Structure 1
């Protein structure tokens, strides 16, 4: 009996495709919110909920929480992401995986370029509803911290997950990458430097780009493996 499909579609590939499609759709919808004026009511409500009533300069929670959130947001800073990416690339080169090293460089570097272009294209100013608890210079939409954390940690996580055995370990690695990404994005709203829609858009774009790069990398690496086996 002939199969209806030439090859079985793997669940991971299907899931990645859904993430890409959902991320693109979500970003387009949120871009419309970002272009609207005044700010969306839910954006405003969430920012104010994270500040003490009657005192927008004071974030909710104890003093140590504010310092902890600053540390968390640092995990999405340019210097930390560059160092993590460089360390991964050097490691891949040392173990002879030059193709994977190039793919990591293209994924993260391309994500940074895309993030900058999207900021310029939307041109949304930072929120001034509450005081900023950290210094910022760039435009607001999408959140660069949220987007690049997703791109970097998911790219590195997927590469690492591909080298380990056992479903539980792979789920742990990818789950940790997602958790760090979510924490970084949430920290930007808590610190008052992004509207919630900025962060959601950053996650949408970052997850979509990371999964798209993973699909391309997976296809190229499998094609190379097939060509190598055929030549033997």
Structure 2
């Protein structure tokens, strides 16, 4: 009986954390949407964007000459082609190892996140920043950052899935840390390259984290209703 109570308490704590993440993500997104609707750029948005450029020369990014190229490599971690490859490779592995439910979970979470990101961009017609020159090619609207949102959805979903089957708690925490780090680097790179306002990136993180946690909660609910309660 103590063992059962321990498991139940861990599940309830995880659900509580997920619920708080969803609520916080939704609140943060709504607040950033208000910033995005303003006709003039927010002062903090402007200050952060200019902080990544040489004072007096908005065209020159801070750091050594190779820095911009390195950041473009990092931002590719959140590109559609890379995320599709990572997601497809993961789904293929899960199917080959007989984990069809997990494969379906990854597909629904990532594909749903992509659809949600596209709809949100249409909801708020915010142009890209013109305060500094862009250091990367962009073709869509600015709010929210698709790179930030989809990297949060994909890497947090895969990180949570990998942590669930990690051999120990330390390994699980490490995997989640890597997922968070990848998500942060992608979002920060968008601001460095001048293709997004910081509020765009923050909104993408908020929406992506909320969606990933909502999918996780749904998966937990489906799991709890299975007669044998097997993953």
Report what 1:3 is aligned to: none
Q: Which runs of 5+ in 2 are unaligned?
A: 1-7
Q: For residues 174-225 of structure 1, give each alpha carbon's deviation from its aligned partner in whole angstroms, at most 9, with x where no partner exists.
A: 111001000000000000000000000000000100011011112213333x
Count the aligned residue pairs. Answer: 222
1:210 aligns with 2:189: no
SS of the residue corresponding to residue 33 of structure 1 reads helix
Distance 2:125 2:111 in 1: 21
Matches of residues 4-19 of structure 1 in structure 2 within 5 Å?
Answer: 8=9, 10-19=12-21
Report what 2:34 is aligned to: 32
Report what 1:137 is aligned to: 139
Q: For residues 70-129 of structure 1, give each alpha carbon's deviation from its aligned partner in whole angstroms, at most 9, with x where no partner exists.
A: 000000000000000000100110111111111110000000000000000011110010
Q: Which runs of 4+ in 1 moved over 4 A?
A: none
1:182 aligns with 2:178: no
Report what 1:41 is aligned to: 43
SS of the residue corresponding to residue 192 of structure 1 reads coil
Shift of 1:158: 0.8
Distance 2:51 2:43 in 1: 12
Coordinate RMSD, CA, aligned: 1.3
1:200 aligns with 2:214: no
1:109 aligns with 2:111: yes
1:87 aligns with 2:104: no
Distance 1:222 1:73 in 2: 38
SS of the residue corresponding to residue 57 of structure 1 reads strand
Structure 1 residue aligned with 2:152, among 150, 153, 156?
150
Distance 1:154 1:219 in 2: 19
Report what 2:60 is aligned to: 58
1:228 aligns with 2:228: yes
Distance 2:190 2:137 in 1: 11
